[in-house]
Structure 1
Amino acid sequence: MARYFFDIENGGQHRDDTGSECRDLDEVRAIAVRTLIGIAAEEAALHDRQTVVVSVRDAAGASLLDMTLTLATAWSNRDGA
């Protein structure tokens, strides 16, 4: 298995220095998706708009994948709550 590093940009840069061993590129993609969903679940209640990017590097440091999630809240009637 190869090691991949999942860097996160979420209002700042968070470099993955540990990495994760993955069987194949499908597993790399699945980890990137789970990472984005986890961050979105934590951040959704705090921000009306949030963009999170997961950038994946291989063990040699070459860029492999960039995945972006933008979460946007559009209030219809905020005073009606």
Structure 2
Amino acid sequence: MSAIMIGQDKFKISEDEVAKRELKVIKVSDDVIQVQEEIHGIIALVGATSTVNIKKEELKNLIKVVKEEFGWTDICE
């Protein structure tokens, strides 16, 4: 299954550069999902820790996708 985009935006990182952010979700198995945050336009983080920032609207979209697309009917809003 391909990734489903649940959010995207752009933000200024310098006078001349704007980064593009995309938040996607993929079903890994029946009870596991993977949330991916892709940032284009800047050098990615280096290290062992990774975080994903999720906006309120993106969380609502995530809940909708896992219910409707992945069949997780026991997820509350």
TM over 0.5: same fold?
no
Using structure 2 for the length normalisation, give the TM-score. 0.28
The structure in which a higher percent of residues are helix is: 1
Using structure 1 for the length normalisation, give the TM-score. 0.27
Specify the structure having the higher radius of gyration (Cα): 1
